[in-house]
A and B are shown apart, each in its own frame.
Chain A
Amino acid sequence: MRAVHQITMPRALHPGAWWLWALGLAAAASRTTNPVPLLLIIAVTAYVVAARRTDDPWSRAYAAFLKLALLIIVIRIVLQGLLSSSSQGETVLFTLPELPLPDCLAGIKLGGEVTAEAVLAATYSGLQLGTILCCVGAANSLASARRLLAHLPGALYEAGVACVVALTFAPQLVADAARTRQAHRLRGHRPGTLSGLRRTALPVLEGALDRSIELAAAMDSRGYGRTTDADRGSRRRTGLLVGAGLLGIGVGGYGMLDGGAEQWRGLPTLMLGAAVAGAGLAVGGRRTGRTRYRPEPWALPELLVVASGLLAAVAMFVTAANDPALVTMVDPLAVPDVPWLVVAGIVIAIAPAWVAPPPKGASG
């Protein structure tokens, strides 16, 4: 057996595998509001991240995403509490002072009775969104989005570079803004005023512009674009094919995950979209003369990781199709069911904590 197939041999797992695994769990989360599988998914992602993350700065992304998820749940509950109506249930928890609204806003109610049903329903749907976010956060801390972008097919290379640049600039903009706000304090301005905003925005944007020019000069000096001089026509054909294909994938994917009556239409659209996009990438990929440094291998551990994530999704989809009541909380007050098949699928998705190779240290 070659070394790349060994699950104990330290190396970085292909970022695509981590993202597919996380997407499988996210897809599973998108089909349920049952808190049991949702909390289980969060636990699984947290465990795998703790077991297999590196000590790079972006590996701390998971904690940030987890905090964001909690924030979303809280916001969801607060909004639901403010806007709840009695149609959502009869179990009144407490009554808030109601704010009279003008007639044109009939149908909207601010304050008033807050029911347990409304609060629980909000908790569950907030938890669902939060779980999906945790999956994205796990993918981000296990394989930075940049590393994934490096694997874009040649035809999408320019778009990938643009994304990478944007990813670098966002944190720098935040740092610049903080610095400029400090500078205003130094001039004796109170922070937070409107004129302060203008005074912050201008230097920050100027700085960003300067830096992008500097980066463009550096990239040009290092040979960027030297080997990809394709004619305009082929570039346009590629763009058209890839664009149409991605649209197909998007529509098809929505159809599949939507779970509505016309679910069967999703799959063919998805397949067709994938085919068209693939053709576009193949056409466009031919014109680039770039090579790739140390292409990451796709071997047994990658397959195992992806399979474990997909199994969780499949278990969820099968259960949702056969017995929807198990995964959707029709009555929020009921004690949630434990859908055994789904639970088994999600538990399998913890496998990457062992089957993914351990990461190499950042130094060494």
Chain B
Amino acid sequence: MIRFDRMGVRYADATTPALAEVTADIDEGELALVIGRTGAGKSTLLRTINGLVPHFSGGTLVGSVRVDGRDTREHRPRDLADVVGFVGQDPQAGFVTDRVEDELAYGMESLGLPGQTMRKRVEETLDLLGLADLRRRALATLSGGQRQRVAIGSVLVTHPRVLVLDEPTSALDPLAAEEVLATLQRLVHDLGLTVVIAEHRLERVVQYADSVLWLPGDGEPLVTGPPAQVMEVTPVAPPVVELGRWAGWSPLPLSIRDARRVAGPLRQRLSSLAPSDEPADASATGAQPLVRVENLVIRYGGEPALRDVDLETHSGAVVALMGRNGAGKSTLLATIAGLLAPTSGRVVVDGVMPADTPPRELVRKVGLVPQEPSDLLYADTVGAECADADRDAESEPGTCHALLERLAPGVPLDRHPRDLSEGQRLSLVLAIVLTSRPAQLLLDEPTRGLDYAAKRSLVGALKALAADGHAVALATHDVELVAELADRVVVLADGEVVADGPTAEVIGASPAFAPQVAKVLGPGRWLTVAAVREAAGAAS
């Protein structure tokens, strides 16, 4: 269906090619997963499939890409619209109209299909994607998962043979991600559609894939093959694969089900052991809390975003806030950071009320890394950002840069912040926030768009900060991150706290929030491969 033949891409002002010598075949009815580090060229590869590279982006393409027999060099993206459906990273940014039904029809209108055909296909697509209840809804009122399904539907109506999605689940909570992936799975199985996905969250998608295209980056050639085979050698792997590799299971299980079926002996062996790093619960020791939230209510207009929320954080401990999109996690962090004033209730951070404290003073108590870290950046170079941060915090020149070196060594000072990788940019923002030495550090969805390597270094950095005596609170959908990092988990739903307790207790047995290791070895206290490895190592 899709054939890459010694394909390479070089952008106009780049010194090294973005992709080189890519040769691969993706067959009809296959779900192909493209993996690799940030900057390895995943998005570029996807965009060559419908000709956005090079027709839209510029640059030069060598070799050839043929889709359903059409050469993308001779066909512009619009000429491939009836063969390839492309869904970009942010579905919202690609919407042209404002209603679900109109958005579905838009592509067909552009192709000039007759009215009767359009009517029929819109109805079929609404049913296929389970959008019938939403047909007259305004796009702005949809949830993340619904939005993603509308975006998929809007390209399906032209009956493409290939569907290309760039990180379709990275912004979604675990349940919404399941919903989207189940939809894709159905399209592959029922319609024989060829689907190509790029995704960092391997733990979510690798089990559905028929083939994996691994872009190792740094000029190394592309590796392709069946998932179990490629996952044996990649440095990036979801926890279930890591567990399988460590336990020496063969064939390597990719799904929870497969792993559980071979994990019997391991479960037996672990039943007599306990995880060694069971975290000390700071709230139980009666230490003075750093942040105290009492009966907090926040309303914007009508419905309250938070109602009667209580929360405490302690120095040296990591608290994770979990819950659906829109459950109030970001609102709670913004209130602690002083961006929102409580409608009623109290928030006290280290003796002050954040909403009534001047920003200059507040940043010494509490620092927030927002969902879009780049909002905090405005200078032309990394060096200028660091100098500004030092000046703002009235700390010694070089403080911010030293922090950055510790978080992400080797970021060039003359680079524009926009040209950094996601992980480097997050490190830069984290360094800027830490320059004023806040006692409480807050992070909103820090792992969005991060690859495994960047995530690992973030985990290391946050653990070190907590060991230094910082209190860390993060809102996240990433259950694996929570399993590795958090001492305590608070689950929010509909603006209320529904669970608050030690990590293993809260997420260990939850169907939605349990990490893969807990699902394979549980129910129980085993959350990470590292914990299992350590305990087993100590026992033998």
Contact = CB atoms under 8 A, between A and B. Distances in A.
A290 B110 contact: yes
Contacts of A222: 78, 81, 96, 106-107, 110, 154-155, 158
A190 B363 CA distance: 12
B468 to A, nearest CB: 21
A86 interface: no
A221 B86 contact: yes
Interface in A221-270: 221-227
A57 B138 contact: yes
B393 A186 contact: no
A189 B105 contact: no
A290 B105 CA distance: 12
A56 to B, nearest CB: 5
B320 to A, nearest CB: 20
B375 A183 contact: yes
Contacts of B498: none
B437 to A, nearest CB: 12
Contacts of B436: 188
Interface residues of A, number: 54
Interface stretch (A34-42, A99-107, A291-299, A317-325): A291-299
A165 B110 CA distance: 16
B56 A223 contact: no
B378 A202 contact: yes
Interface in B66-97: 76-82, 84-86, 88-90, 93-97
Contacts of A64: none
Given A187-B389, A363-B136, A293 B112 contact: no
Given A225-B78, A290-B112, A360-B136, A186 B93 contact: no
A187 B432 contact: yes
Interface in A142-175: 144, 146, 150, 161, 164-165, 168
A211 interface: yes
Contact of B376 (A186, A198, A219): A186
A220 interface: yes
Given A179-B375, A187-B432, A215-B94, A227 B112 contact: yes
A186 B52 contact: no
A164 B103 CA distance: 13
Contacts of B90: 214
B359 A189 contact: yes
B119 interface: yes
A223 B358 contact: no
A268 B460 CA distance: 78
A364 to B, nearest CB: 7
Contacts of A164: 96-97
A221 B51 CA distance: 9
A224 B78 contact: yes
B294 to A, nearest CB: 23
Interface stretch (B238-246, B250-258, B269-277, B366-374): B366-374
A237 to B, nearest CB: 22
A10 to B, nearest CB: 11
B98 A292 contact: no
A202 B416 CA distance: 14
**Chain B interface mostly:** helix
B338 A227 contact: no
Given A295-B115, A364-B136, A186 B105 contact: no
Contacts of A206: 418
B377 interface: yes
A348 B292 CA distance: 61
Contact of B372 (A165, A179, A187, A293): A179
B367 A186 contact: yes
A191 B358 CA distance: 10
A218 interface: yes
A168 B139 CA distance: 11
B96 A219 contact: yes
Contact of B82 (A198, A203, A220, A223): A223
Interface in A45-65: 56-58
B222 to A, nearest CB: 23
A146 B97 contact: yes
Contacts of B84: 221
Interface residues of B, number: 74
A217 B97 contact: no
B118 interface: yes
Contacts of A360: 136
Nearest to A180: B375
Nearest to B111: A223
A214 B94 contact: yes
Contacts of B94: 214-215, 217-219
A199 interface: yes
Contacts of A144: 98
Interface in B407-459: 418, 432-433, 436
Given A57-B141, A218-B94, A225-B78, A290 B109 contact: yes
B438 to A, nearest CB: 10
Contacts of B134: 363
Interface in B25-83: 50, 52, 55-56, 76-82
Contacts of B360: 188-190
A2 interface: no
Given A214-B94, A219-B96, A203 B378 contact: yes
Contact of B392 (A188, A218, A226, A227): A188
Nearest to A165: B96
A227 B137 contact: no
B102 interface: yes
Contact of B122 (A168, A190, A293, A361): A293
B182 interface: no
Contact of B359 (A58, A190, A215): A190
A289 B372 contact: no
Contacts of B138: 56-58, 362
A216 B93 CA distance: 9
A223 B81 contact: yes
Contacts of A225: 78, 110
Contacts of B337: 186
The 10 A-B residue pairs whose C-beta atoms are closest, nearest first, are A218-B94, A293-B105, A223-B81, A188-B363, A183-B375, A223-B110, A214-B93, A222-B107, A221-B86, A226-B78
Given A227-B111, A290-B110, 9 more contacts: A58-B98, A164-B97, A183-B370, A217-B88, A218-B94, A221-B81, A221-B86, A223-B81, A293-B109
14 contacts: A58-B138, A164-B97, A179-B370, A179-B375, A186-B367, A217-B88, A218-B86, A220-B55, A221-B155, A224-B110, A291-B109, A291-B114, A293-B108, A364-B133
